[in-house]
Amino acid sequence: MQLWSDFLPRSDVGIFVTESNDAISGFVSVGPSPDAAGDGELYAIYVDPDRWGSGDGRDLIDAGEEWLRLHDYERATLWVLDDNPRARRFYEAAGWTADGSERTGQHLGVPTREVRYAKPL
């Protein structure tokens, strides 16, 4: 696992990557939540579909959570599309729970609805 935050101009964001066959196979980014002062947020997580089930996703979410703990966050949040059951199951298996917050918006011109998950750190 490699911390890529060393290459960023912002020190309040952590980005970790996984590698497979000398290529990046996934990443996670975390930092302060724009929603609630004092909360951390998992901004994004992605694993190459060829690596699903490999443990990369779990390693990445663990690394992001640990980075948030080390930066004194006691609670973390994330937003996920409400109609993404695979992602929601992944987060729930990692101990995250929907906290009842929802938001609507647009992504690439398509209306979306997201739900927020939270986890004490």
Write out pLDDT tens, residues 87-111. Answer: 999 999 999 999 999 999 998 999 9
User: What is the Cα–Cα distance from 95 to 64, expressed in whole angstroms?
Assistant: 14
Residue 20 has pLDDT above 80, yes or no: yes
Question: In which band, very low, low, confident or very high, does the pLDDT at 9 lie, cut at 50, 70 and 90?
Answer: low
Which positions ≥6 away from 27 have C-beta within 8 Å? 4, 15, 16, 17, 18, 44, 45, 46, 60
Task: Quote the number of domains for the chain.
Answer: 1
Domain interval for residue 16: 2-120
Distance of CA 13 to the CA centre of its chain: 12
pTM recorded for the entire structure = 0.87
User: How do residues 22-44 score in pLDDT, each as one tens digit?
Assistant: 889 999 999 999 998 999 999 99
Residue 2 has pLDDT above 80, yes or no: no
- What integer pLDDT is reported at residue 93 of this predicted model? 97
63 touches 10 (CB < 8 A): no
